[in-house]
Chain A
Amino acid sequence: EPEVTQTPSHQVTQMGQEVILRCVPISNHLYFYWYRQILGQKVEFLVSFYNNEISEKSEIFDDQFSVERPDGSNFTLKIRSTKLEDSAMYFCASSADNSPLHFGNGTRLTVT
């Protein structure tokens, strides 16, 4: 069964540094998402992406965050200047039209 793949599985970075989290969605999916889960809290929607642009974003997704689909297969989340509170598990997901999300296994981001 096709799956969403995320790299790296764990990223450690220093506060103020830029990080890029990478995802390869399922190949025939057109909708892409990032969610995150801070330790002990619920999974939260960050952003959705369709047709090469952001279709919706949450209030968490401020100017420090950006997403990009640099080629036909990758989907990335960039955090420009990381803060301690950005430490979380970041999940990429993709979907076909009006169908449930398929999540990747996540990238654990630790900001020190």
Chain B
Amino acid sequence: DQQVKQNSPSLSVQEGRISILNCDYTNSMFDYFLWYKKYPAEGPTFLISISSIKDKNEDGRFTVFLNKSAKHLSLHIVPSQPGDSAVYFCAAPLPSGGYQKVTFGTGTKLQVIP
């Protein structure tokens, strides 16, 4: 049951350029969405979230856009830095879940090339 889908397993971007990571979802009842970042041999780290009542949330170099009609969200990283190289997961709350009980996408591995 893939309620949250990330169709691109990997992405390569030049340092300084924009990275765009995409995520699609099937459940229109999700109240919000989250992005997590994961480095090898570490656990996921919370990056940014967006409420379903908004269409954009920005935090420094990271911006998440939500298109509810398309059931699509994207994470933009501008400018991309080599330290951004990681696996990025989008996530959404499970039924009766809050920020904590979430379903994750399969992840997109971002490589930022110096």
Contact = CB atoms under 8 A, between A and B. Distances in A.
A91 B99 CA distance: 16
Given A31-B100, A48-B100, A93-B100, A100 B49 contact: yes
Interface residues on B, range: 20 to 34
Interface class of chain A by DSSP: strand
Contacts of A105: 41-43
Interface in A79-112: 91, 93, 95, 98-106
Interface stretch (B61-69, B78-86, B102-110): B102-110
Contacts of B42: 105-106
A102 B99 CA distance: 11
Q: Which of B43, B44, B97, B102 has the most CB of A within 10 A?
A: B43
Contacts of A44: 103-104
Interface of B: 34, 41-46, 49, 89, 94, 96-107
Interface of A: 4, 31, 33, 41-45, 48, 56, 91, 93, 95, 98-106
